[in-house]
Amino acid sequence: MPRTAASVAQEIPDVLIVGAGIMGTICAWELAGHGCKVTVLERSVPGAEASSAAAGILGAQAEAHAPGPMTELCLASRARYAKFAATLVKETRIDVGYRECGVLQVAFTRQTVSELTRKALWQKKRGLPSEPLTPRALAKYEPTLSPKLSGGLRFTADARVEPKALLRALHIAALQRGVIFRRGSFVRRVVVEGERARGVALDDGSILRAHNVVVAAGSWTSLIDGLGLPTGRVIPARGQIVELELPAPPLSHVVFGPGAYLVPRDDGRVLIGSTLEFVGYEREVTAGAVRDLLVQATAILPGLAQAALRATWSNFRPYTKDELPLIGRTEIARLFLATGHYRNGILLAPISAEIIRAAVLGERAPLAAAWLEAFRPERAV
């Protein structure tokens, strides 16, 4: 019998994925690339939540505060980005804005600059290069920055990407690999029978069966029943962003300054981020946050005062108490999680997808088991 669209939709997929943010979509793309039939269930529009709202900083070193599993995870993912971005461009012809631009961390006082330099010592021991910057060196790299800055640090290997373009490309590439996306599918619970995940139940009462279930529902993960996780394991941490535009890009690097970071785009837009607020699922952009971000940003880059104000938005980082993601198999057989990536979900997408693919297919994990233990969904917190 020929495989019609209707019969394909009725087949039991190898993998059902809940959520079409970056995590759900990249896991779908990765698994479909390894021969799996994958269906992604999305309650609204693929990519519409945190993943498209992100600034797109790939700050494996700028965001690293201590040696350990999280730093190793971030470095492993950053190392995969150039190939990942190139593959997406090849598959879709969409420029995902991947730029190996480097990240600067800057400060107004000499004391803070020395603290930054001291903090970077452990990275040096780990073999991760960074360049200490005097005010003169800083001005050479970025002449538009405030002359009041006392210097900083340059992380050459950190990069950036444009999340909206990345999500569009990833969605198209996943479709081309045969992934089915079902919009408007609101998952209520994972169906568990005999201590094994068998599928999911939607809010209209229907049951969708699958051989494996991957939950990648971002900040809404803990609202889904049947995961076997304590209440509030993943909660929303709101971040607000202001987008400005100048006639030409004022920066070549991403700049982390006191109170704000600045992310340049090639077309002259500059993103200013971001707040960190625990306000539940309140989506408002607030006057106070916009004011504070603009004050901090114009102190770092005075020329931004002349920029056009283009947009503001907010969304929710999936936060966990220990600030580590939940990635991999759970204690319920055939149920996997890819969630809780908090501030670094865009950066961590390629390695997370590989971990999930290896777990679902029973392959060797791409990271040492001792590191992966830190991200085990049921770990004690």
Ligand X SMILES: Cc1cc2nc3c(=O)[nH]c(=O)nc-3n(C[C@H](O)[C@H](O)[C@H](O)COP(=O)(O)OP(=O)(O)OC[C@H]3O[C@@H](n4cnc5c(N)ncnc54)[C@H](O)[C@@H]3O)c2cc1C
x-or-dash string of contact with ligand X, 302-331, rule CB under 6 A: -------------xxxx-------------
x-or-dash string of contact with ligand X, 337-356, rule CB under 6 A: --x-xxxxxxx---------
CB 53 within 8 A of CB 68: no
Q: Given candidates 50, 120, 138, 300, which one binds ligand X under the rule CB under 6 A? A: 50
* Helix locations, 160-272, DSSP H: 163-176
Residues 197-256 that bind ligand X (CB under 6 A): 216-220, 224, 239, 241
Task: Tell me: does residue 361 bind ligand X (CB under 6 A).
Answer: no
Report the residue number, 58 or 358, with the smaller CB distance to ligand X: 58
Helices and strands, number each (H, E), in the chain: 11, 19
Task: Tell me: does residue 96 bind ligand X (CB under 6 A).
Answer: no
CB 199 within 8 A of CB 16: yes
Burial class (CB in 10 A: 0-12, 13-18, 19+), 112: middle
**281, 165, 63, 297: CA torsion to nearest 10:** -80
For residue 146, the minimal CB distance to ligand X (Å) is 22
DSSP 229-249: --TTSSEEEEEEEEEEE-SS-
Scanning 13-21, 81-89, 99-107, 244-252 for contacts with ligand X by CB under 6 A, the matching segment is 13-21
Task: Tell me: does residue 72 bind ligand X (CB under 6 A).
Answer: no
For residue 268, the minimal CB distance to ligand X (Å) is 19
Burial class (CB in 10 A: 0-12, 13-18, 19+), 214: buried
- Here the tokens at position 309 are 């104000």
Task: Tell me: does residue 48 bind ligand X (CB under 6 A).
Answer: yes
Report the residue number, 55 or 113, with the smaller CB distance to ligand X: 55
Task: Tell me: does residue 21 bind ligand X (CB under 6 A).
Answer: yes
Alpha-carbon gap, residue 128 to 131, rounded angstroms: 10
Q: Given candidates 13, 14, 19, 170, which one binds ligand X under the rule CB under 6 A? A: 19
Report the residue number, 151 or 160, with the smaller CB distance to ligand X: 160
Q: Which residues contact 319 (CB under 8 A, 6 or more apart)?
A: 219, 234, 235, 236, 237, 278, 340, 342
Report the residue number, 113 or 359, with the smaller CB distance to ligand X: 359
Query: Which residues make up the interface to ligand X (CB under 6 A)?
Result: 18-24, 41-44, 48-51, 53-57, 185-187, 216-220, 224, 239, 241, 273-274, 315-318, 339, 341-347
